[in-house]
Amino acid sequence: MNIDEKIKLTEYNPAWARYFLDEREVLLNALAAYLPNIEHIGSTSICNMPAKPIIDIMIGLQEYPPSRPIIAAMENIVYNCYGECGVPGRMYFTKRTPTQDYNAHITLMDGGVWRNNILFRDHLTNDTEMAASYAAIKRKLVNSGADTLRKYSAGKSEFISAAIKSASHKEE
């Protein structure tokens, strides 16, 4: 798989929550010895948010980077490992199947990557105006030709950083 895969944006699908829960069970079984904390993140975790129809899953562990046995456990359940892929503190995995696609992000439990992803998800879940702005940016990016993962991600990065900063200030 090309890490800079083509992307498409689809309207929110309530089934995404069920897909996450089903895959969470698969991950919990595979990684049980490592006591993972597993969260649904990304746009598929935010009600009514358009998204790439790929379920993003964050796996928090007590130590980072993940050991070779953890990576092997992920590979045994058909995840491909791509290393950090430009995000220090996050090991990136993908699983592509005929019925549903997944991205898994292994990170340090309660580390910066973990906290920022949870902050972003929760902030957009609770702030409908911010969520609407994010949805508009996502649609504009795709409609203007940002149809690969890297272009799409780069186009959203400034908004995401600002939203995390805003959410951090609200927590203080």
Residue 139, SS3 per DSSP: helix
Q: According to the model, what pLDDT value does residue 100 have?
A: 97
Q: According to the model, what pLDDT value does residue 1 have?
A: 56
Whole-prediction pTM: 0.94
pLDDT higher at 42 or 166: 42
* Burial track 59-78 (b if 16+ CB lie within 10 A, e otherwise): bbbeebbbeeebbebbeebe
Q: What is the pLDDT of residues 10-38, one digit of tens each?
A: 999 999 999 999 999 999 999 999 999 99
Q: What is the pLDDT of residues 128-165, one digit of tens each?
A: 999 999 999 999 999 999 999 889 999 999 999 999 99
Q: Give me 77's structure tokens.
A: 């359940």
Yes or no: say if 47 and 38 are a contact pair by the CB < 8 Å rule: no
The domain covering 15-171 belongs, at the CATH homologous superfamily level, to Beta Polymerase, domain 2 (3.30.460.10)
Band of pLDDT at residue 171, cut at 50, 70 and 90: confident
